[in-house]
């Protein structure tokens, strides 16, 4: 503990501004099971009541009033494409396609913030025990319909992922398993490794995989990473057909792509939709931590989470993860829908995470345990405060707390590098290995101090 650092005050009950940026988002299992993270929405199927009226969705933050023009867009609601999950306010959107009920999320995710920090996970050294992931490129003849061939060649590598939870049964000691959600996965090795989204399997008690031919297997969760929303599963099978993995860095806007997955669950398994790459490098923060996505207008719906986005060579270049379906409300409070705005994790971003999950079951995340932002309006900084990053919260017993940092401290430099943004601070931290020491210059009450902080693993911070 650095005894020179003295408290200026505590955060108290003051409202933290929306511009606060987290150094890293770390969510405990308890937090994940009690409520979806801000910006995420889940499609529930537990309360299957037809004819229920549309309800105003609950919000964790109130959206800004629309400008005085009809149809004004307020925000872009990004939801995970998982069938099933936590019920909030509900409304029906698919009469006649089975008794599926859709759930609005508990909060709005605003339009992507240009200043939001980008995920650049430091995952440490790779081991030599990781199997080679991805299969052989299919033989796609561009002279004939490539989408037909892609459906035939890549379809067998896409699987259904059904998750269940144990529900208590009145009068019985043991509960009963109930299916709570349905998503999609991609076979990446012949011996049964499968990649999907973290949110598909999060909170589940059991996972069942259904192959293209209808064969079913119980799956073990090898590892998950909430930050990048990726998970690796393993089934006891051999001779499977792994999908070929392409180069997402080589994608161009306007390029034709195909989405393969299980919209609305097992009844529509193996559905194929096509579209184009609408945009690249879209910075979005669905879970409070920004990373880049591929934007596509290929139809993506609940149940497509974890499915394949495929180029015209039959290679998987993205993992379908998010979609938007609500832009905001007009002057009369009528919802404004969106169409053809889906997002996929680039395969080049996913591969090192997947390999680390296979090797170790987790992804190390260097961090020091603070929440911070640039206080451009001096809402919290004292008069005469220097430029830097203002600390809004310190993780209890985390590295920063142990070094004496407190709320309202201003970090002006790290390892003698001036700090003018959250991204500058985090990029230096993430360039270190866990256990390394970093030196911070900290301004408090008109004086500057030095603090030596040992980099920790954010996965182990509450």
- The series of mean pLDDT values per 10 residues for the chain, 462 residues long, is 41 43 44 37 32 39 37 47 39 26 36 42 58 81 81 94 86 77 94 94 91 93 91 95 95 95 86 94 77 92 91 94 83 85 94 93 89 83 85 91 92 92 88 92 90 89 70
Q: Which of 229, 297, 375, 409 is catalytic?
A: 229
Name 425's bridge partners. Answer: none
The full set of domains in the chain, from first to last, is: 113-364 (2.40.10.120), 365-460 (2.30.42.10)
Q: 75: exposed, middle or buried (C-beta count within 10 Å: 0-12, 13-18, 19+)? A: buried
What is residue 123's predicted lDDT score, i.e. its pLDDT? 55
- Residue 198 designated active-site: no
Annotate 210-274 with DSSP letters as a single string: E-TTS-EEEEEEEEEETTTTEEEEEES--S--PPPB--GGG--TT-EEEEEE-TTSGGGTTEEEE
How far is Cα 359 from Cα 47, in angstroms, rounded to an integer? 39
- Residue 213 designated active-site: no
- Residue 305 designated active-site: yes
Q: Give the number of residues written for the chain.
A: 462
Q: Which of 26, 199, 204, 349 is catalytic?
A: 199
What is residue 275's predicted lDDT score, i.e. its pLDDT? 94
Q: 377: exposed, middle or buried (C-beta count within 10 Å: 0-12, 13-18, 19+)? A: exposed
How far is Cα 65 from Cα 72, in angstroms, rounded to an integer? 10
What is residue 399's predicted lDDT score, i.e. its pLDDT? 94
How far is Cα 185 from Cα 158, in angstroms, rounded to an integer? 6
Token representation of residue 350: 């996913």
What is residue 110's predicted lDDT score, i.e. its pLDDT? 34
What is residue 97's predicted lDDT score, i.e. its pLDDT? 25
Token representation of residue 398: 């985390």
pTM (2 d.p.)? 0.64
Q: Which of 271, 305, 349, 441 is catalytic?
A: 305
Apex CA 242: angle with CA 245 and CA 159, to 5°? 105
- Picking from 406, 456, 410, 396, the residue whose alpha carbon sits closest to that of residue 429 is 456
């Amino acid at each position: 503990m650095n005894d020179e650092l003295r408290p200026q005050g505590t955060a108290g009950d003051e409202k933290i501004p929306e511009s606060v940026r987290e150094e890293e988002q770390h969510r405990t299992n308890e937090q994940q099971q009690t409520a979806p993270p801000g910006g995420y929405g889940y499609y529930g199927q537990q309360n299957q009541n037809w004819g229920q009226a549309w309800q105003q969705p609950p919000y964790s933050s109130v959206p800004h009033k629309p400008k005085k023009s009809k149809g004004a867009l307020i925000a872009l609601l990004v939801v995970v494409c998982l069938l099933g999950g936590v019920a909030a306010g509900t409304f029906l959107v698919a009469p006649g396609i089975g008794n599926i009920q859709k759930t609005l999320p508990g909060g709005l995710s605003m339009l992507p913030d240009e200043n939001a920090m980008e995920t650049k996970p430091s995952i440490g050294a790779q081991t030599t025990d990781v199997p080679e992931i991805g299969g052989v490129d299919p033989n796609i003849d561009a002279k004939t319909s490539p989408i037909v061939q892609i459906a035939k060649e890549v379809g067998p590598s896409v699987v259904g992922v059904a998750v269940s939870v144990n529900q208590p049964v009145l009068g019985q000691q043991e509960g009963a398993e109930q299916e709570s959600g349905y998503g999609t996965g991609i076979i990446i090795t012949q011996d049964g490794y499968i990649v999907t989204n973290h949110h598909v399997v999060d909170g589940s008690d059991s996972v069942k995989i259904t192959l293209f031919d209808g064969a079913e297997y119980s799956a073990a969760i090898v590892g998950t990473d909430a930050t990048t929303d990726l998970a690796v599963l393993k089934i006891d099978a051999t001779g499977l057909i792994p999908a070929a993995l392409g180069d997402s860095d080589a994608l161009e806007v306007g390029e034709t792509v195909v989405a393969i997955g299980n919209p609305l669950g097992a009844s529509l398994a193996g559905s194929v939709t096509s579209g184009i790459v609408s945009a690249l490098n879209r910075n979005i923060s669905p879970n409070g931590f920004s990373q880049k996505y591929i934007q596509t207008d290929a139809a993506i719906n609940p149940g497509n989470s974890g499915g394949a986005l495929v180029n015209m060579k039959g290679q998987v270049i993205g993992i379908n993860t998010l979609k938007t379906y609500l832009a905001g409300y007009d002057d009369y409070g009528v919802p404004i829908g969106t169409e053809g705005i889906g997002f996929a994790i680039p395969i080049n971003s996913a591969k090192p995470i997947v390999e680390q999950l296979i090797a170790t079951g987790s992804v190390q995340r260097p961090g020091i345990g603070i929440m911070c932002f640039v206080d451009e309006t001096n809402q919290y900084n004292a008069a005469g405060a220097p430029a830097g990053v203002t600390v809004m919260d310190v993780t209890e017993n985390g590295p920063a707390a142990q070094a004496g940092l407190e709320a309202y401290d201003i970090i002006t430099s790290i390892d003698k590098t001036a700090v003018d943004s959250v991204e500058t601070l985090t990029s230096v931290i993430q360039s270190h290995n866990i256990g390394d020491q970093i030196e911070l210059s900290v301004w408090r009450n008109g004086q500057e101090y030095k603090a030596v902080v040992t980099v920790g693993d954010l996965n182990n911070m509450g």
